[in-house]
Amino acid sequence: MIENIVNTNCFFKLRKLVIVHHLPIISTFLTTCSIIVLLLTLPVLHVAADSHSMGGTFIFGRGGDSVGLDPALEEDGESFKVCDNIYDTLVHYKDGSTEIGPGLATNWESSADGLTWTFYLRKGVSFHDGTPFNAEAVLFSLNRQHVKSHPFHDVGGSYVYWVATGLADIVDTITAKDEFTVEIKLKTAYAPFIYTIAITPFSIVSPTAVKEFGDKYSSNPVGTGAFKFVRWDRKDKIVLEANENYWGGKPKLDRVIFRSIPDNSVRLIELQQGSLHAMEFPNPDDLEQIRKDENIELLSQPGMSIGYLAMNMEKSPFDNHKVRLAINHAIDKSTIIEHLYQGLGIPAKNPIPPTLWSYDDTIEDYEYNPKLAKQLLTEAGYPNGFETTLWALPVPRPYIPDGRALAEVLQSELSNIGIKTKIVTYDWGTYLEKTKNGEHDIAMLGWSADLGDPDNFFYFLLSKTSAEKPAGNIAFYRSDAMQDILEKARATTDKSKRTSLYKEAQQIFHKDVPWVPMAHAKQILVVNKQVKNLTLNPLNWKYFRNVTLER
């Protein structure tokens, strides 16, 4: 119980950074009691490994449930990390790398002008339902996103990534030259194309299953990946089993279970008690305890992510530049990160992380200056401030570990300059749906890189194209100057030119302030030491096919 009391106290300490009054003792008592109740009702899972290093059930604890398991429709990390184990793409990111390797295509080539890409497909592969993998399956999977007249184009939802990455406008045709050769023609050269086609939303799905399940396919996924879908108990767990016929070799594990445990403290207790093998997003206050535990270890590496507050520029007063600037000056990011992230994050000033090429470190972040913030509000026509809503993340994310705690600090800091906020939140799926349709005023969100290219951040989060609802650009920021730069950067393969363009884009972002860029977080996992071959990937994907469990 010590770790839970520590976590509760850490939460209150964070509040006290900016809130004068202490919470009543009874509040601490009730919080502690609620955790005791949770402990007494935890399910006991027997997950001890076999005496051999092969086989067994690997149980992974995460902060929230998936939204869906149709990769073409999803846009959140909790959905993608399950999809990554069910499906394959034409080309894969190599484990622990940003380099591309063969996937369902054994090799590929591009024309000299970069407009024609030819993929030579792997033979002898079947989907989990027995459907043969071939060019027809590739055309079905990609053309249902691209071709509006495709019979399954409007089934299930909208293809956010196909639009947000720009492929909707860039791709001309996707055709089969023969049973195992696919040709993709582009309208214009697109520098990150081969890296983009490797990401989860462009996984190849079973045409048979999509036709059978229709708009319920998202709950009945069928791919060619290392693991097969077994069942989904909503808000509890997703169960996968090994694909014995996987083209890359049968996985070392018999099955994988993704468990949804929203409370960071409870998740750690379950790991320490043996009900989990690995978990995400520990409370920063628990890191010292984790490092001292002989049975678990902390895996970490610099992340490629950004956590931010998006101000909805379609709504007044956030269409006013001085209001957005005032909010940037009102927030003490360094102190928040010191207490909320505790060494696992750094303050952000740009929309891309410093680990990504083209990052412009010459930009100076807006200083924490409440006096200047009040002055800017007065100049904007709000001498007495205004009322608004502040949307808090409902689940821990790598870029914001505790949305509610952060929201309460921000609420207090904004009140210091006269902005009164009501904290709003929803379950994860609803939160994403409502923010991408612009229902929010100010909302927390973030991004973890899908590919090691600045385009992945800029175009999805800040382009005019991505501001169309359902939007990836939830600030609804529309800048002709930004759009022109992003289009130019996509059209050239000259990395030095692209670097200059993305640095210019960062200057425009800094001037226009559609967000408060909050933090870049480290990527971490807490793992039982009996787990072997579980590695972090710089793009924040989870591949479990090589994991083994040892005594």
> How does pLDDT run across 194-235, given as a tens digit for each residue?
989 999 999 999 999 999 999 999 999 999 999 999 999 999
pLDDT at residue 48, rounded to an integer: 42
More confident of the two residues 46 and 198: 198
Domains 69-210 and 305-521 agree in fold: no
Structure tokens at 308: 């931010």
The dotted CATH code for 305-521 is 3.10.105.10
Other C-beta atoms lying within 10 Å of the C-beta of residue 357: 12
What count of Cα atoms within 13 Å lies in the side-chain half-sphere of residue 20? 2
What is the per-residue pLDDT across 273-309, written as a single tens digit (0 to 9) for each? 999 999 998 888 888 899 999 999 998 887 889 999 9
pLDDT at 95: 76
Strand pairing of 345-347 and 515-521? antiparallel
Q: How far from the centroid of its chain's Cα atoms is residue 258's Cα? A: 16
| Residue of 295, 376, 284, 363 whose CA lies nearest to 330 | 376
pLDDT tens for 48-86 read 444 445 789 999 999 999 999 999 999 888 999 999 999
pLDDT at residue 471 tops 70 = yes
59 and 259 Cβ atoms separated by less than 8 Å: yes
pLDDT tens column, 355-377: 889 999 999 999 999 999 999 99
CA 385 to chain centre: 33
What CATH fold (topology level) applies to the domain 45-61+226-302+524-549?
D-Maltodextrin-Binding Protein; domain 2 (3.40.190)
Strand pairing of 181-186 and 296-301? unpaired
Q: Does 144 score more than 60 pLDDT?
A: yes
What's domain 69-210's superfamily in CATH? Dipeptide-binding Protein; Domain 1 (3.90.76.10)
Ranking 159-163, 457-461, 520-524 by mean pLDDT, the lowest is 520-524
* Per-residue confidence (pLDDT) for residue 209, from 0 to 100: 98
Where do the structural domains in the chain lie, given as residue ranges? 1-41, 45-61+226-302+524-549, 69-210, 305-521
